[in-house]
Structure 1
């Protein structure tokens, strides 16, 4: 009996270690750090993270929202194992994979005079209240370039840094905006009309990681979740962009 009492604690520890090993084998435990720019942080990542953590209740995640420069810095410094951003310039030491290739869209309040049109051009927006993206940002410069290609003046009434801010203002009736295809999905795109925008302006989403070390099994598992969400996004994108209202 004395030996049994002494060994009981050992058997309990052995069982705990076995459970821990099983969790590690099945990617259920561990720590994962992620950084993302706002369009992806508020759209594709939350749903992927939900399913990922539901199957791995012991996993702990660090998730931060940063500007593009912060994503590159976070991945290179290994503060985050995975980064997600729209657009990419080559950076030594960073590997990448395309998550989704979409096109910039025009968002308008339902009462907007252009809301009934199936497609909005840069020229259509001339002379109307317009919410522009900040000069010097990757998406801001892409939108300016699209207006230049169309020979249309770029004269924003309000200038903002982030696409989700532009969506909030558009829904409030401030004016139209040209944004990435992810941002209107936040909160179901409530109060927004979403239309294709011409000239076509690509918005490519990337996932990034450091080439200095191999990805952990948890990171690989999360990338698979993102791929699933991307496939779902591909199937629903046409409906979202062409419907009278998103959400």
Structure 2
């Protein structure tokens, strides 16, 4: 059979072959595909012209594969299987359920071991299976993960230090005092800088801009003592306070994730505001699975 270079093969030709091979009849194949028998016969003829070989022989009202058809058939069916798989993948992507594209999250360690596991559990319960990657780091490293397309959604403190980031949600907060629930000051409705004098303080490390703002606040109100302990995360500071080692002055938004510890959370007066944000990259829109995850964050926000 000579090849016809003018024939253009489409998905319809592959589906027609697949149906004929499965049923052994152009009539049954037409019924399966919901088209006319003449349409199926024409598609088969065009496919045979394109390949340059006859794929089926008629044998008592039934189509049987030729020798060439037996050799080529598995490859044609493989194309059909790939097309079906491609369609399923596309539908999963459309509905945000594809496991081919992971949901990549970047959160500070203090939230990665508290908030994030709860959110992922809820997300999977409401949206079905998904492939998820959780990364942790300091705020600068999280920003770089987002900017370098190594994560889809990140959590940082404002103002950010990296260009090319988009604020998906703004998260206002404030500094509060976190202390053991048996501490003499734990029952107060608020603590002033004067109240902190003479108490061991637990502060976040001095590489952070918010630490400088806090020290300026303390200094302006006459408190010039050095911290008893410096911590590198809010979670660590809260754990230290839970051991009765001092009063931690940290951001309320993250500190409230540690309510299971024997702690009291008391506002600091005057208030020192903090602002956090959920961020993504300006260069690419969020995937549907990432948008769905953001919805799970609404109650927490």
Classify the TM-score, shorter chain.
0.7 to 0.9
Q: CA deviation at 1:139?
A: 3.5
State the aligned residue count.
229
Q: Counterpart of 1:24?
A: 93
Gaps of 5+ in 2: 1-19, 24-72
Q: CA deviation at 1:205?
A: 1.6
Tell me the distance in 2 between the aligned counterparts of 1:126 and 1:41.
33
Q: How large is the Cα RMSD of the aligned pairs?
A: 2.7
Gaps of 5+ in 1: 231-247
Q: Counterpart of 1:239?
A: none
CA gap 1:187/1:193 in 2 versus in 1, 3 angstroms: closer
Q: Deviations over 1:91-130 (max 9, x none)?
A: 3321114432121111111221211211111221111122
CA gap 1:44/1:203 in 2 versus in 1, 3 angstroms: farther
- Whether 2:66 is the aligned partner of 1:48: answer no
Q: 2:288 aligns with which of 198, 217, 235?
A: 217
Q: Counterpart of 1:3?
A: 21
Q: CA deviation at 1:31?
A: 1.0
Contact 1:84 / 1:207 at 8 angstroms: preserved in 2? yes
Using structure 2 for the length normalisation, give the TM-score: 0.67
SS at match of 1:70: helix
Tell me the distance in 1 between the aligned counterparts of 2:253 and 2:165.
24
Tell me the distance in 2 between the aligned counterparts of 1:202 and 1:58.
38
Q: Counterpart of 1:99?
A: 170
Q: Deviations over 1:22-72 (max 9, x none)?
A: 322221123121112234434543333222222344311111110111012
- Whether 2:173 is the aligned partner of 1:155: answer no
Q: Counterpart of 2:262?
A: 191
Q: Deviations over 1:181-204 (max 9, x none)?
A: 133333533200111111201121
| Range 221-230 or range 103-112, more displaced | 221-230
- Whether 2:164 is the aligned partner of 1:109: answer no
SS at match of 1:135: coil
Contact 1:109 / 1:192 at 8 angstroms: preserved in 2? yes
Tell me the distance in 2 between the aligned counterparts of 1:21 and 1:80.
22
Contact 1:108 / 1:192 at 8 angstroms: preserved in 2? yes
Tell me the distance in 1 between the aligned counterparts of 2:159 and 2:272.
15
- Whether 2:153 is the aligned partner of 1:82: answer yes
Tell me the distance in 1 between the aligned counterparts of 2:162 and 2:237.
29
Q: CA deviation at 1:167?
A: 0.5
Contact 1:48 / 1:229 at 8 angstroms: preserved in 2? no
Contact 1:36 / 1:83 at 8 angstroms: preserved in 2? yes
Tell me the distance in 1 between the aligned counterparts of 2:210 and 2:116.
19
Q: Counterpart of 1:204?
A: 275
